[in-house]
Structure 1
């Protein structure tokens, strides 16, 4: 009887050993969804089944919901909205995530001497680019001056996890929160042992590892003339983040004048220079996102000087009478070597 049992089990054991010894090629899978008034997409390689993919999507959705609940100006009950409603002289203890993003926004505000200002919210709202209903005509000079009195990053301070205001200011993290969302998703994928991925939230991107064939992830920088359907440049980005800021999507027109959603805190008005697109490569998406906005506000000359001064990898597109002119910082030039135009 014992011999018969061995004969019956032996084929099963052999089959198990064969299956265990097989090496399955990782499969590229993806999932996406809505977030922060836009969409996100995650692509990664895995040998696991669909159950893990769905579980990972649930984790990513929860991460993005948490960030939105912390930093959205469109949610009146978010931590940021509650802080903005507080009177002058108020203090609020905030989460470490919230503090991290505010810290980076304040850093960029200081570095740019206020051309990027984390408290630009009153002006953005006045021009119709905030949570309130949009407008189809510019505000008056009196309205602009009144809003400017509520703008000033020096009236905001962060000590540890305590956020304070010394004036009636309104913090707006929309220029940096998407970038942080990308970084937060990356942290979630890292925790789950994903070694190769591409994350995109509203155009802000971060990659890790390489594709299954050993090639790097290739990122297209879109042309201002062609939008999503035309690539101005295609570059290799490994283990880095890339963010683009442009004035050619979100705007309104009145009497033949186009008013961009990117506001210069110094003037209280939308930018009027010819710099239409800025792409930044950095280690984190939160810094790439904020720096792209800062350089867009600074304009082509000051923006490129700022990038060179701080060693920022920046790619600028400037509108000319006919077509566009490209300008790149020294730190961006190495990415042009393997680019495809």
Structure 2
């Protein structure tokens, strides 16, 4: 997944798992997630679907079907702000497995890429996935990492441990308490590149947490900064001044997907969406040289420290 992972398990010393053995199981599980959903592996299940040129339904694994169902749900709810078929645009702007050109694509290339996207071209019926556009390209990078976090959490629970934190590249799943017998405390990072600093401390409870931000993954050309988050409707990187969106949800997968959708929406629409769906979200946007915070009502109970 191109990032780190860290797992903390809290139990009495004589009941702790053997670290090397647990890590071996986790590594095997994450390799399986990649084999199912990576766009970087040409023989992954998802890559094979992307190469499939027929409109006939293709049988997919239960795990891939679960992530596809969640993706289509968020796409419908967000009116397309979240769209897993946006891959051609992500690649065109240089943020996919094909590498980064570090320059703005021309209008003709953008037009051609936009003709190849649209979640409405996908249909899921149980474990049968089909597309009515042969060139459709599905990219689950905005939700599969969260799913991987959930899978690791399920593995740890199946091993009999109930106090843990799973962190894959900043996407989290928490349960129980930390080594001080307190519910897990999580620091939301200040959205600046120059230093690592804490913006807010939260106690998310037994939930998943995901943060989407554009302050570390972007390129600049002619004084304009281009975010890695693409608006599927415009085909352009977002330009709504949101620098960070944190979502707390029952699973890391849903938090991951919603964080991307809300980043695309912009502050006002995102807050209205959060209130409608009772989502716990925390947005930071940049107004001039200042960072301004926006919280949904469902997020407030999770705050420990301003």
TM-score strictly above 0.5: yes
How far apart are the structure 2 equivalents of 1:211 and 1:200? 14
Change (3 A) 1:48 1:97: farther
Q: Is the 8 A contact 1:247 1:276 kept in 2?
A: yes
Structure of greater Rg: 1
1:186-197 map, 5 Å? 186-197=153-164
Work out which of the residue numbers 173, 185, 196 in structure 2 matches 1:218: 185
1:183-332 map, 5 Å? 183-225=150-192, 229-332=196-299
How far apart are the structure 2 equivalents of 1:340 and 1:231? 10
How far apart are the structure 1 equivalents of 2:270 and 2:140? 21
Q: Is the 8 A contact 1:314 1:329 kept in 2?
A: yes
Residue in structure 1 matched with residue 127 of structure 2 by the alignment: 161
Shift of 1:306: 1.1
Q: Is the 8 A contact 1:222 1:228 kept in 2?
A: no
| Higher mean C-alpha deviation, range 98-107 or range 225-234 | 225-234
| TM-score (norm. length: structure 2) | 0.96
Residue in structure 2 matched with residue 133 of structure 1 by the alignment: 99
RMSD across aligned positions (CA): 1.4
Aligned length: 304
Unaligned runs of 5+ in 1: 1-35
Work out which of the residue numbers 79, 87, 90 in structure 2 matches 1:124: 90
How far apart are the structure 2 equivalents of 1:222 and 1:80? 32
Q: Is the 8 A contact 2:10 2:16 kept in 1?
A: no
Secondary structure of the residue aligned to 2:284 is strand
Work out which of the residue numbers 62, 84, 96 in structure 1 matches 2:28: 62
How far apart are the structure 1 equivalents of 2:15 and 2:81? 48
Q: Compare relative contact order (CA 8 Å, sep 6+) and give the higher one, 1 or 2.
A: 2
Q: Is the 8 A contact 2:10 2:177 kept in 1?
A: no
